[in-house]
Structure 1
Amino acid sequence: MARRDGLIALSVAGMSAMSAPASANDTTAQLGAGGLIIGRSDQIAMESEDLFISPEKVTVDYVFRNNSDKDVETLVAFPMPDIEGSPYANVDIPVDASDNFLGFSVSIDGQEVKPELQHSAFAVGLDIGKELDANGVPYFPFGDATLKALEKLSSEVAADWQNRGLITLNEYDDGSGMKSVRGPLWQLRSTYWWRASFPAGKPVKVAHSYKPSVGGTAGVSFYTDGKFQGQYDDYKRKYCLDESFERAVEKATKNSGDGFPPYTETWLSYVLTTGGNWALGTIGKFRLTIDKGDPANIVSFCGAGVKKVGLTTFEMTATDFYPERDIEILILQPYDSPR
């Protein structure tokens, strides 16, 4: 995350006795969201960013400054994560059946802003928004309204869309006989945007928040038969797992008495690299706070100079910070902890 050699990992454990694990195949994927973006600006610098991440919420407080001698008005955007429609998709949608599926909100100098929302839908690389609009089909692929609209399509339109890869037929037996349901295959791309004014030489405070999409598994996927194996090498690179993390997992497994790590996995992602689009390409003062949620949880992520600052919180600070790496967080939660 910092422009330095030697990223460090942080692994803090709390142990308790647990029950047997569920299948690790029960997996939910997370959606990676991040901060605000702007077309590369030579006038507007990000003086500071205070970023807080937990499984329940993400809050970001910025201070921007227009370093030129003229006022600047520009567009600022918050790109929502892309959502893939698929019969096999199992992603966490924090706010169900809503265009604002992350519950995004933003304010400037303490005043709430109501941003515009730009939607687009793509299938096999083509923009299919006009076809969805013409047939009254919402763009959000996982909403009940979308499935109901697909049910109402004429057989001719449905056959055409199926042949072109816009929709698929999901066939299953719900106990009362076989069902055939039309399902979306398109990708939803969404961006919130608004016009912002940056007076010459003055600081502007911008704050935004949202509820993160949280992925995970019903067990631990990288430790079996008393060994770290499977995708553990990938995890090690992604989350900077270290020896203290390994010792914590091994100790908890030994105490469980059944040879399985007594945890479920939770994953969070934050797209940080867009912070380099502002003037100078760096963040003047950067502070990251991560809350693992419960003292019994184990957390690991990549960072430089990370310190424990609370019972469940960890902090990293940097000056003239270059965001060359997105944030990936792994939290192991005991089975009996609410998620």
Structure 2
Amino acid sequence: MIALMAATGWPAQANDSAAELSIGGLQFVRTKDVAMASEELRIGLDRVSVRYQFVNQTSKPVALTVAFPLPDIDLSEAENIAFPSSNPVNFVEFETKIDGIAVPLTIDQRAMVGSKDVTALLRQYKLPLLPLGDRDIRIADLPAATRSKLIDGGLLMPAGMNDNGRQQYMPGWITKTSAVREQVFPAARTVTVEHQYRPSVGSSPDTVLRSGLRRSAALGPEVERYRRDYCITDAFLAELDRRAGSDQANTARLQERRISYVLRTGANWAGPIRSFTLTIDPGSDDHLASFCPGRLKPSSANNSRQFTASDFMPDADLKILIIGKF
């Protein structure tokens, strides 16, 4: 995991937590000609992988635009975003295969301030659209004229004073990244599409669900949000209390990991997904995991990590909470 602040040289906030980005699978133009026969989705801390099987239900080839929508990055609010990679373009290291053969997606990246496209201006000054890894921005080292131009254009925003009382700045644009390709689905044939990437994993060095914290009235609204977002059960809390105890301090050294997955883009097909399987890999059998399964049912009485559904129409996204020692 890479926090954006580590690569940019703007002021860091005293916060050990990192926020997760909501990312999903491939997205296709809505069509009634192609049906999704099956989707096998695995979500883990190390990798998200999806295997789709599509069937062209017509008697002629169908060409569709395939897209992998990466989340917009608002650099003015990105101090603690969990980036899985330091690649400033493919920052989740995604890969796609069609019938077992790796295929490229065309990546387009733009920088916006409000409705204004400032991509050309940043490139004029040889500045990265997404400052990650070795493509960082040392704002204090920019020529004064360049810095003034960026400030006047709204690309740099005030970010407090340094120890010498000098005004500091941080990037203020939004980076938009899209990856697309045109894919032909042959007539009356099944096509297998596989897609994988490294997820953005949110993290916290403690969990508000520990008994020593959730009893606090001040944290009540946050505890209720967790219960709602992750469908936390009393049994989950009882097991957490057994491991963590009731001390105010986190003596058990339990931490949180969080993954958000955009599932609703799977509803773009001719009818529902005929067979859907979700596998959650929390990284260890000792880790506790919770999410809202909706219509999904455990694949067996003894398997709490795999869920299935037939004729599935996704109507909600997934938020997964994992608690344990990392």
Scaled to the shorter chain, the TM-score interval is 0.7 to 0.9
- Separation in 1, partners of 2:263, 2:63: 24
**Corresponding position of 2:208:** 221
Code of the residue aligned with 1:165 in structure 2: it is: G
Q: Is the 8 A contact 1:139 1:146 kept in 2?
A: no
Measure the CA separation in 2 of the matches of 1:166 and 1:32: 25
Alpha-carbon distance in 2 for matches of 1:59, 1:87: 28
Percent identity reads 32
| 1:291 to 2:304 alignment | no
Matched, 1:243 2:230: no
1:211 corresponding residue in structure 2: 198
1:46 equivalent to 2:29? Answer: no
Provide the C-alpha distance between the structure 2 equivalents of 1:128 and 1:205, rounded to a whole number of angstroms.
39
Contact 2:71/2:177, CA 8 A, preserved across alignment = yes
Which amino acid in 2 is paired with 1:96?
S
Shift in CA distance, 278/151, structure 1 to aligned 2, threshold 3 Å: farther
- Per the TM alignment, residue 283 of structure 1 is displaced from its structure 2 partner at its CA by 1.1
Task: Give matches, 1:125-140, under 5 Å.
Answer: 125-140=115-130
> How far apart, in 2, do the equivalents of 1:261 and 1:321 lie?
43
Q: 1:264 aligns with which of 227, 245, 255?
A: 255
Report the alpha carbon displacement of residue 252 of structure 1 after superposing the two structures with TM. 2.1
Report the aligned-residue RMSD: 2.6
- Alignment partner of 2:292 out of 298, 302, 312: 302
Partner secondary structure for residue 274 of structure 1: helix
Shift of 1:97: 3.8
Q: Quick one: which of 270, 274, 279 aligns to 1:279?
A: 270
Residues 102-128 of structure 1: CA distance to partner in whole angstroms, max 9, x if unpaired?
010001001110111011111233222
* Pairwise CA distance, 1:155: 2.6
Identify if the C-alpha distance between structure 1 residues 97 and 181 changes in structure 2 by more than 3 Å, giving closer, same or farther.
farther
- Aligned-partner Cα distance in 2 for 1:309–1:140: 46
- Out of 65, 70, 95, the position equivalent to 1:75 is 65
Q: Partner residue of 2:17? A: 27
Unaligned runs of 5+ in 1: 1-23
Q: How many residues align?
A: 306
Which residue of 153, 163, 186 maps to 1:199?
186
Cα offset, 1:226, TM superposition: 6.0
Q: How far apart, in 1, do the equivalents of 2:44 and 2:127 lie?
A: 34
1:87 CA displacement: 6.6
1:93–1:213 contact (8 Å) kept in structure 2: yes
Gaps of 5+ in 2: 1-13
Q: Is the 8 A contact 2:40 2:278 kept in 1?
A: yes
Q: Note the alpha carbon deviations across 1:219-254, whole angstroms, 9 max, x for none.
A: 112444562734011111111111111111222232
Tell which has more relative contact order, 1 or 2 (C-alpha 8 A, sep 6+).
Answer: 1
CA distance in structure 1 between the partners assigned to 2:152 and 2:289 by the alignment: 46
Superposition deviation, residue 130 in structure 1: 2.1
